[in-house]
Every structure is written in C-alpha cells, then in structure tokens.
C-alpha cells in the first residue's frame, strides 16, 4: 500500500532488533521482506492497557481484560484428545485458572512460578470459576511507565513466537521504522485538494496512527483513510483499464437487425420474453453498434433465460455477416446447447456446428472445413474451440457459458480466432454475484443482470430434514417416481475427504438399491473420479429417462438440463456452501411440474451451517443467497471466480464496506470523466501509484 520510498524499500534485515532466525520467520510466516511490508501488516485490535481488573471483580462477558497477578503454578495435563497447560494465578483479591492448548512446548519456559505478570485475554466462567484461555502475557516491571494511548495487537503464529518475534519485539521494530519516516516524508498519491474535499488525513499520518493511535478517534481516522485508499485505488485501476480498453479496442459494427433475428423473434419464440431479457438484448445491441469491442457479463439465475438471450445475440451476428461460437465447460452441456439450438433453428437457414474432444476423423475434418468457409454460422463446443486447428472465416461474437470454469489464458485464445478484428465477447454465469463483488471482480466488464424468471415458472419448494427423516423422504421419492418423475441424489466430494466421501456415496448407493431394487427401479452413479466416457454414459442414461435416480457428486452442479427431474436430494447438506446448494437446486424446476429440493443433514450443525440451510429454505432468490453467502464466508472464497490476481485488501472488506466501495467508485468515475488519461498535474501521482502497483497496468482483465 505504501508508495515507493528509499528507506521503506530496504530489507527487514536492517532492523538491529532481529536475528537471522526471526528474519526468516517473518519472511516465511508474514510474507514480509521490506520495512514497508512490515508497516503494511496492520493491528487487528487495540487494547487500553492503562486499566487493570481485580480477579474478585470479574464478570462474565466477552470483553478483553487485563489482570496483574502472580503465577503460583503451571503444569501439563494429558487429556484423552490432547494435552493442555493449566496455570494458577492470584492477585490478593482472588485466584483463577489459565489454560493453553497450543504453545505447550515453549510457554512453560517463558513463565516462572512466584513472579508477577500482566495477563490479557477473554474471561470465561465454568460453574462458579473464572478462567482465561490462551492469554497474552508479559512480566510486570515495578515503576514502569504506563503508556498513553491504545496498544496495537497483531496476528501472530506459533513459529513467530518460538523465534522470539513477540508482540513486544514487533512493536519495537515498527517504532524504529516509523522514527525514520515521519508522516510528512511518506509520499501521498492522493493530492491535498482531494484529501480536503474528502475529509481524509494524509497517508503518512494514517500509517503512524494505525499502529500507535493516541485515542479511539485517531484510530478511526487512520482506518477511514486506509480503507478509502484500498477501495479507491481498486476501483480507479479497474475503471481506468476499462476506459483505456474502450478507447484502444475497436470492435466490428453490427449495423442492422435483419431477417434471421426478426423471423426467429416473431415466429419461433413460443412465449413473451421477460422485461429483463429485453433489457439485456438492448444493452448488447447498443454495444455491438458502438464501434467498440463489447466485453459484457450476463448474470442470470438458473432458468432465467440466458441461453435465449445468447441465441438472439448470435442471430444478430449472422444478420451482419459474422459467425459466432458458444463455449461450454462440459461436453454434455455443450451437446445439450447444440441439440436445442439445432432443433429450434431448423428451417431458418442458420446452420449450427458442434466440436468437442470426442469428435474425430471425417466428422471433425468436415466440421472444420465448414467453419473455415463460413458455412457454419454458430459453432458450439467445449475447450476444443480454443485449439489452433479451429479457424473461422469471420468470427464476430464469442459467448462463454459459465465463464468461471475457463481460465483467462484460455479465453484469450478466442481473440486469435479473428483475422482482421477483435470479436465481441459475451460471458454468462448462473452464479449470482453480489454487487460489491461484481464491481470488484468484474469491474472491467459491463454487467447485465437478468433478474426475472419466465412467467409460469414454479418455484422449487425447499425443505430441511434431519437424518432420522430419511424413511419419510424415501417414501416421497417413491411417489414422485410413480408419477413418472426422476430424482437427483447428491453427495459432497471434497478433495481432502475424497476417500471418505466416495465411501459415503457408495454406502448411499447401496442403501438406495435396498429401498429401490432392480429391475423396478434403475439407478445411475456419477462422480468426478470416473472415466469421462463412463460418466457421460451414465449421465446420458438419466437424460434419456433410462434411469429413475441419479446418484452423483457435484459434477452435476453445472450442466445437464433434465426437465423431467423433479427432486434434488442433497445428502450431508451442511457440508456445502450456499452458492453450491443454490446451483444444485437449479438442476430441478426446469419442467412444468412442481419440483422439490430436500436438504438432509445431521443434527450436529454449526451456527453457520444452520444459517446456510435456513437461508436456502427461506428464499429462492439467487442474488439474496449470494449476499448471504458473502456475509457468511467473506469474499475470500468467492474470489476464485475473478479474472486476474487476488483482491488484496488488508483492512477494508467487500462484505462490510459496501457503501464506501460505491463512494470510492463514484469518486474515481468523477476523476476519470474530467481527466480520462490522468494527464493533469494533480492526477499524475494517481497514475504513477497505479503503475507502480500493477506492472505498468498490464493486465488480463480486458479479455472477458
């Protein structure tokens, strides 16, 4: 975060207080190499250490307290599960117990019976006794001056503590660094005029005050400035790159809406498009007529009609003399797209082709010839579309389904498919993304949202059952099968527990066989460890209604469209994330009949698991679920869908700082509207700071 500075760019080995062991531990455990890096690791809480609490005055609360007491004894206790350290302390008013479950090897050597220490931590009450678990401690020194202000507390590790890089040592190092760089010396990329209008302190002041605030007001000032700094430059960088891409990348112009589009729209669509679909199509038409390359993300919940929008966009390309491709993450999904589009486009003069890794020999050769000669207007396929041997005559539009399944480098290959121009890019996802995440992870794309379901679509009814409700669930499944419906039964397959999970799936399969015996019932099994051919065969049996039940892991999370499937039974539902549960639920509810999602779990649920399952039962709204998921998990896990790099926020949060993110984005927009290239004198420092932080602004974000 701190801009380039001669002193701060030097190695931490300059700190006389650190020995080689501590330097290595700091580099490895904190990822810190320079003095500036160490300043960039902020405290996670602060303590008012001017106050002490008597043991006799203790009350049950979640507050952090400080006790000055004498250690009377410390011993190791071996329990059934693990060892622990138990210490007794007294302060004249009473006595209490201290407990450690970690640090057992070094803590006894750091404490001495009969000596007085300052212990700091949270107090718990068991029965009538108080105790403190994993307290921080330091020897009490008589006559030592009590510091004014708040004491910073930093995250640490056992390795750092063992090496001697304690809280005390860290504070000493940070004080030494700050003594060499007073606030006025630390460069501030945000000009004084901007800071005054925003009521922000300087970056130098913020760095000093974040580590050693003299008051809560100073701490809050520093936090406000640093949060603004992180989110503002995150948005400024995204918007600057987006603006530059639009300036530099000219796109082919789709000038007209012709016969292919109008005939299909008026004669082939058996229902009225939703207002959301119409709005998104207008947004795409505006993009492709602008003369700039379109780079648009379409978000739409499962069943919202994204594929129809994609088809109409491809017909628009056809009307303007261009080919399109639609790339899907799995062969079965690509095949379903091909079959449905081929069927719906019969007799229109629009020809659809299909390519995947399994297409070989004469068929592949012929398909490639037709594509290269422009006789195939729409090419559907998997990753195979990225291969060098796939050559289009005149590709104008590339559509990517479930975009987070494709790496950026793979998507970049689509650019090479056009000979004289850059194709328009449309990426689609059925994974709703909260607005704050979309602004951050996809801020370089224009975002369209399809937030309506087609009329008449019945909501999937969701219920949560515990394991003892299984007989009732199986009876319900039997009734659905008697109606001619099909059933999904999904088990988790987490990589760390793969062996155990597969065993659970196999046991579940055996249990289902006993309850639904052959030949009256047919059961297919699919999991990620199977050969691709075997997996596709089993999936195809289910698609063709040859099996009644599909037992699977999350390989079916994205993909198959089986309108006849009416029940999604999710085993061990507590082990799935919210967005994953929502994606699985989206596999049913695709036909006209009422569909159901049954979440089966054990009684032993964490608070977070209970909240996830309650949210699933309460709402079918994918965007509400995405927001809840962000609140429960934080952005870390969700960032796996982003395009380039990791959103590295040290203090601000995409979950809790939504309004500040919007404010920072609007301020960045205001600056760029006035000075798109940041060429004005008062904006030069902004441009230089961005360049220093992002490799001269070379990035992948411009490629969908």
Q: What is the pLDDT of residues 102-138, one digit of tens each?
A: 888 899 999 999 999 999 888 888 888 889 999 989 8
3-class secondary structure, 132: strand
Q: CA 57 to CA 34: how far, in whole Å?
A: 45
Burial class (CB in 10 A: 0-12, 13-18, 19+), 275: exposed
Going by C-beta distance under 8 Å and a sequence separation of 6 or more, which residues neighbour residue 77?
83, 84, 85, 86
Q: 580 to each of 76, 442, 490, 637, how far by Cα in Å?
A: 44, 20, 11, 12
Does 210 fall in a domain? no
Q: 654 or 177: whose pLDDT is higher?
A: 177
Give the C-alpha separation, 584 to 145, whole Å.
61
Q: φ and ψ at 273, to 5 degrees?
A: -65, 150
Whole-Å CA distances, 79 to 89, 158, 397:
22, 21, 65
Q: Do 442 and 568 fall into the same domain?
A: no
Residue 560 lies in a domain: yes
User: What is the predicted pLDDT for the residue at 65?
Assistant: 84
DSSP string, 324-346: EEEE-SSHHHHHHHHHHHHHHTT
Prior bond of 519 cis (ω within 30°): yes
| E strands present in 93-128 | 95-100, 116-126
Tell me, yes or no, whether 306 and 407 share the same domain.
yes
- Rounded CA gap, 219 and 209, in Å? 6
Does the structure show a pLDDT above 50 at 645?
no
Of 141-155, 295-309, 673-687, the poorest mean pLDDT is in 141-155
CATH number of the domain encompassing residue 112: 2.40.50.140
Phi, psi of 335 (to 5 degrees): -65, -40
Measured CA to CA, the distance from residue 583 to residue 561 in angstroms comes to: 12
Q: What does 442-494 look like in DSSP terms, one character per residue? A: STTSEEEEE--PPTTPPPPEEEEEEGGGHHHHHHHHHHHHHTT-EEEEE----
Q: Which residues contact 280 (CB under 8 A, 6 or more apart)?
A: 298, 309, 448, 449, 450
| pLDDT value of position 445 | 77
Q: Tell me: do 421 and 535 sit in the same domain.
A: no
Across 542-562, average pLDDT? 80
The parent domain of residue 500 ranges over 461-619
> From CA 160, how far away is CA 19, in angstroms rounded?
12
Same domain, 263 and 408: yes
Quick one: pLDDT at residue 694? 57
CATH number, domain of 564, equals 3.40.50.300
- The tens digit of pLDDT for each residue in 43-97 reads 998 887 777 889 999 887 767 788 999 999 999 998 777 889 999 999 989 999 9
Same domain, 95 and 117: yes
CB 131 within 8 A of CB 98: yes
Q: How far is CA 321 from the centre of its chain?
A: 39
**Does residue 314 sit within a domain?**
yes
Do 403 and 504 reside in the same domain of the chain?
no
Question: Which among 145, 168, 184 is the end of a domain?
Answer: 145
Same domain, 472 and 596: yes
Q: Are residues 469 and 445 in the same domain?
A: no
**pLDDT tens for each residue of 598-609:** 999 988 888 889
Residue ending a domain, choose from 401, 428, 450: 450
Residue 79 belongs to some domain of the structure? yes
Rounded mean pLDDT of 520-531?
A: 86
Angle between helices 684-693 and 216-248 (to 10 degrees): 90
How many domains would you assign to the chain? 3
Backbone angles phi, psi at 191, to 5 degrees: -65, 160
CA distances from 472 to 115, 595, 598 (A): 64, 17, 11
Last residue of a domain, one of 145, 177, 205: 145
Q: What tokens appear for 484 in the block?
A: 């001619």
Instruction: Identify whether residues 427 and 549 lie together within a single domain.
Output: no
Residue 249: exposure state from Cβ atoms within 10 A (0-12, 13-18, ≥19): middle
Name the band, by pLDDT with cuts 50, 70 and 90, for residue 696.
very low
Length of the chain as a residue count: 704
Mean pLDDT (the chain) is 86
Query: What pairs with residue 624 in β-bridges?
Result: none
Mean pLDDT, rounded, for 548-569: 81
Q: Give the torsion sign (CA, 128, 134, 138, 144).
A: negative
Calculate the dihedral angle through the C-alpha atoms of 397, 402, 407, 409, rounding to the nearest 10 degrees: 0
Three-state SS letters, 506-552: HHHHHHHHHHCCCCCCCEEEECCCCCHHHHHHHHHHHHCCCCCEEEE
Place of tokens 């995947």: 356
Provide the pLDDT for residue 703: 41
Q: 196-245: per-residue pLDDT in tens?
A: 999 999 999 999 999 999 988 999 999 999 999 999 998 999 889 888 87
Query: Whole-structure pTM over 0.85, yes or no?
Result: no
Contact assessment for residue 574 and residue 491, using Cβ atoms and an 8 Å cutoff: no
Exposure string of 153-163, with b = 16+ CB inside 10 Å and e = fewer, is: bbeeeeebbeb
545-549 long-range contacts, CB within 8 A, separation 24+: 545/486, 546/522, 547/486, 547/522, 547/523, 548/481, 548/486, 548/487, 548/516, 548/521, 548/522, 548/523, 549/477, 549/481, 549/486, 549/487, 549/488, 549/489, 549/512, 549/516, 549/521, 549/522, 549/523, 549/524
pLDDT digits over 134-171, tens only? Answer: 998 989 888 777 666 788 989 988 889 889 998 889 99
Burial readout 497-510 (b: 16 or more C-beta within 10 A, e: otherwise)? eeeebbebbeebbe
DSSP string, 566-626: EEEEETTGGGS-HHHHHHHHTTS--SSS--EEEEEE-S---HHHHHHHHHHHH---HHHHH
Q: Is residue 504 part of a domain?
A: yes
In this structure, the answer to whether residues 287 and 384 fall within a common structural domain is yes
Distance from C-alpha of 309 to C-alpha of 423, rounded to nearest angstrom:
18
Q: Please tell me the least confidently modeled range out of 189-198, 474-483, 623-632.
A: 623-632
Domain assignment present for 218: no
442 and 548 part of one domain: no
For residues 147 and 488, give the distance between their C-alpha atoms in angstroms, rounded to a whole number: 64
Strands 486-490 and 565-570: parallel
Choose among 290, 295, 296, 294: nearest CA to 255. 290
- Residue 697 has a pLDDT of 46
The angle, 0 to 180 degrees and rounded to 10, between the axes of the packed helices 203-211 and 167-180 is 160
Same domain, 373 and 472: no
Helix, strand or coil, per DSSP, at residue 377: coil
300 belongs to a structural domain: yes
Read off the tokens for 515: 């309850």
- Is 415 contained in some domain? yes
Label the pairing between strands 116-126 and 64-78.
antiparallel
Smallest CA-to-CA distance from 453 within 266, 326, 580, 271 is with: 271
């Amino acid at each position: 975060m701190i801009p380039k500075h001669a002193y701060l760019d030097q190695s931490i080995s300059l700190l006389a207080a650190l020995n080689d062991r501590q330097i290595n531990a700091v580099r490895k455990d904190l990822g810190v190499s320079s003095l500036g890096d160490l300043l960039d690791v902020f405290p996670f809480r602060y303590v008012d250490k001017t106050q002490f609490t008597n043991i006799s005055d203790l009350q049950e609360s979640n507050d952090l307290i400080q006790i000055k007491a004498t250690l009377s004894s410390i011993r190791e206790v071996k329990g059934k599960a693990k060892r622990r350290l138990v210490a007794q302390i007294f302060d004249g008013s009473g006595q209490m117990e201290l407990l450690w479950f970690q640090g057992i090897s070094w803590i006894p050597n750091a404490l001495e019976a009969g000596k007085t220490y300052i212990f700091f931590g949270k107090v718990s009450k068991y029965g009538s006794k108080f105790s403190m678990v994993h307290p921080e401690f330091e020897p009490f020194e008589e006559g030592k001056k009590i510091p004014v202000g708040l004491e910073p507390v930093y995250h640490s590790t056992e390795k750092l503590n063992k090496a001697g890089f304690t809280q005390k040592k860290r504070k000493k190092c940070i004080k030494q660094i700050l003594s060499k760089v007073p606030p006025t010396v630390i460069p501030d990329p945000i000009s004084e005029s901007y800071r005054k209008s925003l009521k922000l302190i300087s970056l130098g002041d913020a760095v000093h005050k974040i580590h050693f605030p003299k008051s809560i007001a100073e701490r809050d000032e520093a936090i406000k400035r640093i949060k603004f700094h992180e989110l503002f430059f995150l948005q400024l960088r995204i918007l600057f790159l987006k603006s530059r891409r639009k300036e530099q990348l000219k796109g082919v112009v789709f000038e007209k809406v012709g016969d292919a589009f109008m005939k299909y729209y008026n004669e082939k669509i058996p229902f009225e498009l939703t207002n959301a679909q119409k709005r998104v199509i207008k947004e795409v038409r505006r993009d492709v007529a602008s003369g700039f390359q379109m780079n648009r993300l379409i978000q739409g919940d499962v069943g919202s009609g994204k594929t129809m929008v994609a088809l109409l966009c491809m017909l628009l390309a056809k009307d303007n003399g261009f080919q399109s491709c639609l790339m899907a993450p799995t062969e079965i999904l690509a095949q379903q797209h091909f079959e449905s589009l081929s069927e719906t486009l019969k007799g229109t003069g629009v020809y659809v082709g299909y390519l995947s890794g399994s297409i070989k020999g004469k068929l592949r050769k012929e398909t490639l010839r037709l594509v290269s000669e422009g006789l195939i207007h729409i090419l559907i396929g998997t990753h195979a579309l990225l291969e060098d041997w796939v050559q289009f005559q005149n590709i104008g539009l590339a559509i990517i389904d479930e975009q987070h399944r494709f790496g950026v480098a793979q998507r970049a290959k689509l650019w090479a498919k056009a000979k004289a121009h850059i194709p328009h890019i449309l990426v689609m996802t059925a994974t709703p993304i909260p607005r704050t995440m979309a602004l951050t992870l996809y801020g370089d794309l224009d975002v369209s949202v399809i937030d309506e379901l087609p009329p008449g679509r019945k909501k999937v009814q969701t219920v949560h059952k515990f394991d003892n409700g299984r007989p009732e669930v199986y009876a319900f499944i039997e009734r659905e099968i008697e109606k001619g419906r099909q059933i999904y039964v999904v088990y988790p397959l987490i990589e760390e527990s793969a062996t155990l999970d597969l065993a659970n799936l196999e046991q579940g399969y055996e249990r289902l066989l006993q309850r639904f015996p052959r030949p009256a019932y047919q059961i297919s099994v699919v999991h990620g460890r199977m050969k691709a051919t075997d997996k596709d065969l089993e999936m195809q049996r289910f698609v063709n209604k040859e099996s009644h039940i599909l037992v699977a892991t999350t390989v079916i999370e994205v993909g198959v469209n089986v309108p006849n499937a009416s029940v999604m039974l999710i085993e061990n539902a507590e082990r799935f994330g919210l967005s994953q549960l929502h994606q699985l639920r989206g596999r049913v509810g695709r036909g006209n009949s009422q569909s159901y999602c049954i979440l089966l779990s054990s009684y032993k649920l964490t608070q977070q698991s209970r909240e996830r399952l309650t949210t699933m039962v309460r709402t079918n709204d994918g965007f509400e679920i995405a927001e809840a998921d962000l609140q429960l998990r934080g952005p870390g896990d969700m960032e796996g869908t982003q395009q380039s790099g990791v959103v590295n926020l040290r203090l601000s949060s995409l979950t809790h700082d939504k309004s500040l993110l919007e404010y920072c984005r609007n301020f960045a927009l205001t600056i760029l509207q006035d000075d798109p290239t940041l060429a004005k004198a008062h904006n030069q420092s902004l441009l230089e700071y961005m360049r220093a932080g992002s490799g001269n602004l070379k990035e992948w974000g411009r490629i969908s």
